[in-house]
Chains A and B, each alone.
Chain A
Amino acid sequence: MPGKVHVTTTINGESVEFLCEPRQTILEVLRDQLDLTGTKEGCSNGNCGACSILVNGEVIDSCLMMGVEAEGQEITTIEGVASADGLHPLQQKFLEHAALQCGICTPGFIVAAKALLDQESDPSEERIRLYLAGNLCRCTGYDKIVRAVQDAASEMAE
C-alpha cells in the first residue's frame, strides 16, 4: 500500500486534519478515525443513503467519496445539524411526528432533508419524495418522514 495522505478539511464548521490511506472512503474516516459514528453504513455502494453527508451543501453518499477527496471541502455530518441552541427543526419534527423507528436511516434522512430545505423553502410532497428517494427506510413506510419534513419546512418559513 502507498503511504497515508494528509488531508485538511472542514467538518461541521471546524478545521480538521487527518491521515488516511488512499483506499479509505470518507465514511470510513468519519466513523473509524474521527469518531463521527452518527453517519451510518448500510450498503457501501450508494444505494441506501444511510451515510448521507453534505459536501459544500450538496448531499452525497459518503461511502462513494474517498477520504482524500475531502481536501479543502466543507463537510456537514449529522453531528453538525443541531446547535448549542438546540435541535434543528427537522430533528424536532422527526421526534414529534414519530418519523423514526429503529433510527438507523434517520441521520441520513435528516442530512438529506436539510440539504433540500436549505435550498427550497416550500417543497411539495412530490418534491420531497423525489429528493429523498436516495434514502431507504425499511421501518416507517416514509409517511411520517415526509410529514416531518413538510412540517419542518413550514416552521422554518415562519
Chain B
Amino acid sequence: MATKTEDYLGITDYKVIGTRPIRHDGVDKVVGRAKYGADIDMAGMLHGAVVRSPHAHARIESIDTSKAEALAGVKAVITVEDLPLQEDKIEDLGEGAANLRHLRANVLADGKVLYHGHAVAAVAATDIHTAQEAVDLIDVEYEVLQPVLTVQEAMEEDAPLLLEDQTTQSLGEDTGQKSNVCTHFRHELGDVEKGFAEAELVIEREFDTATVHQGYIEPQNATALWAADDQITVWCSTQGAFTVREQTAQILDVPVSQVKVVPMEIGGGFGGKIRIYLEPLAAILSRQTGRPVKMVMSRTEVLQATGPTAGSYIKCKMGIDKAGKIIAAYAYMAYESGGFPGSWAAPGAMCIFAPYNIPNVLIDGYEVLVNKPQTMAYRAPGATNAAFASETIIDEICEQLDVDPLEFRLNNSAREGTRRADGPVYPRIGNEECVKTALSSEHYATQLSGKNRGRGIASGFWFNVGLKSSAAASVNSDGTVSLVEGSTDIGGTRTSIAMQLAEVLGIRAEDVKPQVADTDSIGDTDVTGGSRTTFATGWAAYQCALDIKEQLIKRAAKLWEISADDVVFDDGTFSSSDSSKTISFKDLAGMLDEIGGPVMGRATVNPSGVGGAFAVMIVDIEVDTETGKVEILRVSMIQDAGKAVYPSYVEGQMQGGVAQGIGWALNEEYAYNGDGLLANASLLDYRMPTCLDLPMIETHIVEVPNPGHPYGVRGVGEVPIVPPAAAVANAIYDAVGVRMTNLPMSPAEVLKALWAKNGGTGTA
C-alpha cells in the first residue's frame, strides 16, 4: 500500500523523460511483422479445441469421447481426469488470486459446470477443422441444475449452491456457513451512525451494474511443447509470463523450472490475460502426442469463458453537514465472483469514497458466486462500479445544495494526511490539482447549450500497485544499451521503461534496445497490471542504469589511473573532478574491452512507494428522447500521472480508459437468458464503442510527483476508466432530469426512465 517514502529526486530538467520518441516496437507493429500468440507455427504442430458446457449450471453425468477419438486426424482427447489433483492452495496472480483446486476446475470442469461455456474436454487434431469436428462428437450427459445469475438471488438463504463445500469467510473468520457468499469484509472509520445523525442532508440510492468484458481484440491463445526431456515450453499472449509459468507448473504438478513461458506480443489484456485457461490443456495434449499443440479461442469462447469483470449491486448512502462537508458515508457492495471465489469488491471498497475527506465511514463488501465465468480484473477492477454509485450520489447532493460539483469536490477533497476508510493515510496526492485543473479548463468554462443536452462531472481513484520487477542491461560498444526486462508491453512500456534508463546514462531513448524476455532469460517480474509497469519496471531500469554508471565510473578511473572517487558523471559525460579529463558515455563504451571487458547492469525491485492516482472527467452529452440513445458530444479527462514519462502513451491510456468507460456506461453488458445462457457472445451483440460513437478525447495531464518514485511516477493505466460511467449518468440527469442507477444506460433503460418520469408519454 501507499507507504510514504522519499525516493523522489526532484529533477526539473529532464532530457528524455517527458519526450515523445517513436516506440521501439512500433515499426514491427505497423507493418504486420510483430508476432502475437496466434501467429506461432511449428513443424508438426497440432491444433486444439475445447468442448464447452451448453448449460449454466449442471452436474456432469458422463463424458463419452470414443466417437471423437475414432475420427481420422484426432490425436488426443483429455478431460479433467488428465489434470493432476490439486489441494486447496491460494496462488497469488499479481492482480487477484486463485485457489489451485478452483483454477484446475476452471481449466476443465470437475464434476460440475458452473457457467455457459465452462470447459469440459479438449482435443488435439491435425488441423483446426478436424479438432472442431471432434468437439462436436464428444457426448456429455448433464443433469441440469437451476442457475443463479444475480448476487441478490445468490445471497438468498435457499439459493442453489454453486460449490457445495463453499463457506462464508466473514471478517477474516470461517463462519462454517455453506453459502454462495465467499467473503464478507468491512472497513470502518469513525462512527458512521453518529455521522449520519449529525447530517443535514442524507441521500441513499441503490445501483446495479451489469457484467462486462475487457474486450481485448486478440483472443486468448496458447501453444505448448512438452518435449521428450519433460521440458515444457509455452508460447502465449499474457500480461505476465511469470504468473503463467507459476500457474501452469502448479496445475501440471511440475517444478516451475520445468516450464518456460515465452511471452508473445499481446493484443490487449486490461486485466483479462492473467489467469490461465488454455496453457495446461495445450501442454497435456502435447505430452500425449509428442507434438506442439496450438490453441486459440474463438470470440464466442472469449466472451463465454474468460474472465469478464464483476457485475454488482451497491447500496450507497452519504450524509452532509451544515457546512457542506461530507460527514458520513456507507456502502454495501456485493460483487459477482462468477463460478469460483475471488472478486473485486475489495479494490472497489478502497476506491468508493477515496477522493473525499470523510470522518465517518462504514463499508461492507461481499463477494458472491453466480453462474457466470470466473470474474477477472478489468482496468481498476471494482472501482468503476463503486464510483458509479458514490459519484452519482455526490452529484445529487450538489444539485440539492445548489453548489458547483467541482467546488464541492474541492471543498471535500482528500489530501495529504487524509485517512482512507480502508486504512492508509495519503502521502502527497494530486486530487485537488485535478479538480482545480478541471475548474480552470476551457471545457468547463464553455457553456453547454441546446435541448436535451447536459454536462456531467465525476472523480475517480485507483491506488496503483508496485510488485516485483527485474531488468538487466548490457552496454554495447557503440554506446547503446541493450535492455532486457520481464514486463509484457501492451501499450508502449518498452519505451517508457527504456526512457528511465536513458535518462540516467545521458543517452537517447533510441539508444536503448529494450526487449521483453522469456521466463528463463530475466528475473521474476509480476504482471503488466495494476498500473505498475512504468512505475516498477521503470524503476528496475533506473536501478540498472545506476549500476552501469557505478561500473563505468570505475572503468573511467582505471583508464585515467585515478581514484573512482575522483570521477564524476553528468549528462552523459565522465570527467575527472579537476576537469582535466573527460570522456563521453559512448567513447567509454567503445573502450570497455581494453579496460576490463563488458559491463552489465542488473536490478530487481519490489517498491513500496506506490502513489495513488486521481482523475476527473467532464462530459457533455445529448439524449435522443425518441430513442433513448445518448450521444457523447465532448469529453475531457484530467488525471494525475505523477510524472508523465512518455506523454503520448499517457494520453493514450487516458483516452482508452475513457472509451472503455463510455462503452461500459452506455452499451456493454452480458445478456443472459432465463436459463443462464449468454445471449450476446459476439462483437456484434456485445457492443463496444466504434470510432463513430466517440468524439476526440481531450486530455489534461496533471503532474504531482509521487514521493515514492525517483521520477515521481504514479500509475496511469487504470484510473481513467473509473469516472466515465458516473460522469455520463450525471450528464444524463443534467440533460433530461432522470437519475440512472443501472449500468449500462442503454437506450431502452434511458427511455424507461424518461417514461417513468413523464408518466409514459415518452417525451422529455
Contact = CB atoms under 8 A, between A and B. Distances in A.
B444 interface: no
Nearest to B302: A43
Contact of B34 (A31, A103, A130): A103
Contact of A141 (B41, B683, B694): B694
Interface stretch (A2-10, A45-53, A65-73): A45-53
A138 B41 contact: no
B11 interface: no
A157 interface: no
Contacts of B38: 31, 37, 40-41
A130 B268 CA distance: 24
B691 to A, nearest CB: 4
B694 A137 contact: no
A103 B267 contact: yes
Contacts of B23: 95, 98
Contacts of B323: none
A142 B659 contact: yes
Interface in A14-32: 21, 23, 31-32
Nearest to B215: A138
B496 to A, nearest CB: 11
B652 A140 contact: yes
A142 B662 CA distance: 13
A140 B656 contact: yes
Given A32-B41, A138-B216, A42 B30 contact: no
A104 interface: yes
Interface string B20-46: 101101110111111110110100000
A23 B129 contact: yes
18 contacts: A38-B31, A38-B33, A40-B36, A43-B682, A44-B299, A45-B299, A45-B682, A82-B31, A87-B30, A91-B30, A95-B23, A96-B22, A102-B217, A102-B491, A104-B36, A132-B690, A136-B688, A138-B688
Given A41-B219, A107-B30, 10 more contacts: A37-B35, A38-B32, A45-B684, A79-B31, A79-B33, A102-B216, A110-B30, A133-B691, A136-B688, A138-B688
A81 B31 contact: yes
Interface of A: 21, 23, 31-32, 35-45, 47-48, 50, 77-79, 81-82, 87, 91, 94-98, 100-107, 110, 128-130, 132-147
Nearest to A24: B129
B660 A138 contact: yes
A152 to B, nearest CB: 11
Contact of B30 (A31, A106, A140): A106
B656 A141 contact: yes
B270 interface: yes
Nearest to B296: A41
B214 to A, nearest CB: 8
Given A42-B217, A102-B267, A138-B660, A48 B683 contact: yes
Interface of B: 20, 22-23, 25-27, 29-36, 38-39, 41, 129, 214-219, 265-270, 296, 298-299, 490-492, 648-649, 651-653, 655-660, 682-684, 688, 690-692, 694, 696-697
A110 to B, nearest CB: 6
Nearest to A39: B32
Contacts of A135: 690-691
Nearest to A102: B268
A32 B41 CA distance: 8
A146 B696 CA distance: 9
B29 A98 contact: no
B29 A100 contact: yes
B32 A77 contact: yes
A102 B266 CA distance: 6
Contacts of A142: 655, 659, 690-691, 694
A138 B655 contact: no
A136 B659 contact: no
Tell me whether chain B's interface is mostly helix, strand or loop, or mixed: loop
Contact of B656 (A31, A91, A138): A138
B27 A87 contact: yes
B482 to A, nearest CB: 22
Contacts of A23: 129
Contacts of B655: 140-144
A100 B690 CA distance: 15
A31 B648 CA distance: 32
Contacts of A133: 690-692
Contacts of B33: 38, 79
Nearest to B268: A102
A94 B30 contact: yes
Contact of A91 (B31, B298, B658): B31
A44 B649 CA distance: 29
A129 B27 contact: no
Given A44-B299, A103-B34, A104-B36, A145 B691 contact: yes
A103 B29 contact: yes
For the complex of A and B, the 3 pairs showing the least CB-CB separation, nearest first, are A38-B32, A104-B267, A101-B491
A152 B730 CA distance: 37
Nearest to B221: A41
A94 B34 CA distance: 15
Nearest to A43: B299
A101 B648 contact: no
Contact of A87 (B31, B216, B219, B660): B31
Given A87-B30, A91-B31, A144-B655, A136 B39 contact: no
A98 B34 CA distance: 16
Contact of B492 (A48, A101, A104, A128): A101
A141 B658 contact: yes
B651 A98 contact: yes
A103 B697 CA distance: 20
Nearest to A94: B30
A97 B696 CA distance: 14
Contacts of B270: 138
A91 B32 CA distance: 10
A40 B267 contact: yes
Nearest to A41: B38
Contacts of A140: 652, 655-656, 659
Nearest to A126: B692
B652 A78 contact: no
B541 to A, nearest CB: 20
Contacts of A45: 299, 682-684
A100 B30 contact: yes
B573 to A, nearest CB: 30
B297 to A, nearest CB: 11
Contacts of B214: 138
Contacts of B697: 141, 143
Nearest to A80: B32
Nearest to A92: B30
A36 to B, nearest CB: 8
A105 B217 CA distance: 7
A95 B656 contact: no
B129 A100 contact: no
A40 B29 CA distance: 12
B36 A132 contact: no
Contacts of B32: 36-39, 77-79, 81, 107
Contacts of A82: 31
B93 to A, nearest CB: 20
A82 B27 CA distance: 10
B691 A98 contact: no
Contacts of B492: 98, 101
A68 to B, nearest CB: 15
A83 to B, nearest CB: 11
A137 B351 CA distance: 28
A106 B29 contact: yes
A132 B694 CA distance: 12
Contacts of B22: 95-96
A146 B23 CA distance: 19
A103 B31 CA distance: 10
